[in-house]
Amino acid sequence: MKIFRCNVCGEVYIGEERPKSCPFCGAHESYFVLAKEWKLLHSDSLSDVSKENLKKALDLEINNTNFYKAVSGISKDVRVSSMFKGLSKVEREHASAICKHLKVQKPDSNVGSDKAVDSDHENIKEANRRERSAVKFYGEAMKQAPEKEMKDFFNALMQIESDHIILTD
Ligand SMILES: [Fe+2]
Ligand SMILES: [Fe+2]
Ligand SMILES: [Zn+2]
């Protein structure tokens, strides 16, 4: 057994091989390293543009965390409810990872939870719209980031949210 660690969220994975994606934040395999080589993606001096983008990212992730959690609680379909439970956890990890970069406490907020409606179909459509807009946003943030570490970080998030588009398509 080996000990691996995620460069994006910092979580540990114990197993024979690197996971295809992080069970916590969804980062792709290439972001996993052996624990002894691990260093959290991090930039000591953040540029203003990356700081602003991280703040926007935090709002986005918290809003999506709350929306997905609310949908998971509403849906009567176990598959749909499970999908949103999983998505909510992943977006929560993203919010936590962003807070580490910004060196702030995770805000305690319910914003977004009121957007869940009674229809699974409408909620899935809304989730897909949110994931598409997240991919677009992270793509821009990646382009704008002067720091290599922040480019890698935003790229990781862009890849993960792309997986969520496929999931909700
Ligand atoms: Fe996310
Ligand atoms: Fe997502
Ligand atoms: Zn991770």
The domain segmentation of the chain, as residue ranges, is 2-37, 48-168
Q: What is the mean pLDDT of the chain?
A: 96
Q: What span, in angstroms and rounded, lies between the C-alpha atoms of 85 and 89?
A: 6
Is residue 12 classed as helix, strand or coil in its secondary structure?
Answer: strand
List residues, by chain if needed, whose CB lies under 5 Å from ion ligand 2. 131, 161, 164
Q: What is the pTM of this model?
A: 0.95
Average pLDDT over residues 115-142: 98
pLDDT in tens, 9-60: 999 999 999 999 999 999 999 999 999 999 888 888 899 999 999 999 999 9
Q: Tell me the ligand closest to 26's alpha carbon.
A: 3
CATH topology of domain 2-37: Rubrerythrin, domain 2 (2.20.28)
Question: Interhelix angle for 48-74 vs 120-144, to 10°?
Answer: 170
Measure 63 CA to ligand 1 centroid, in angstroms: 10
CATH top-level class for 48-168? mainly alpha
Question: What would you report as the CA-atom Rg of the chain, rounded to the nearest whole angstrom?
Answer: 16
CB distance 18 to 4 below 8 Å: yes
CB distance 145 to 157 below 8 Å: no
